[in-house]
Amino acid sequence: MNIINTDIPGLLLFEPKVFGDKRGCFFDSYDEKTFQSAGINRTFVRDSQTESSLKVLRGLHYQLQPFSLAKFVRVVIGKVLDVAVDIRKGSPTFGKWVSVELSEENRKQVFVPRGFAHGYLVLSEKAVLLYKFDNFYYPEYESGIVFNDKDLNIDWQIDLKEIVLSERDKEHPPFKEAKNNFIYGKDL
**Any idea which residues carry the catalytic annotation?**
61, 131
Q: How far apart are CA 132 and CA 120, in angstroms?
A: 16
DSSP secondary structure string for all residues of 10-71:
T-EEEEPPPEEETTEEE--S--HHHHHHTT------EEEEEEEETTBEEEEEEE-TTS---E
Q: How far apart are CA 185 and CA 91, in angstroms?
A: 8
Torsion angle, CA of 159/123/126/130, rounded to 10 degrees?
Answer: -120
Are 109 and 35 a contacting pair, CB within 8 Å?
A: no
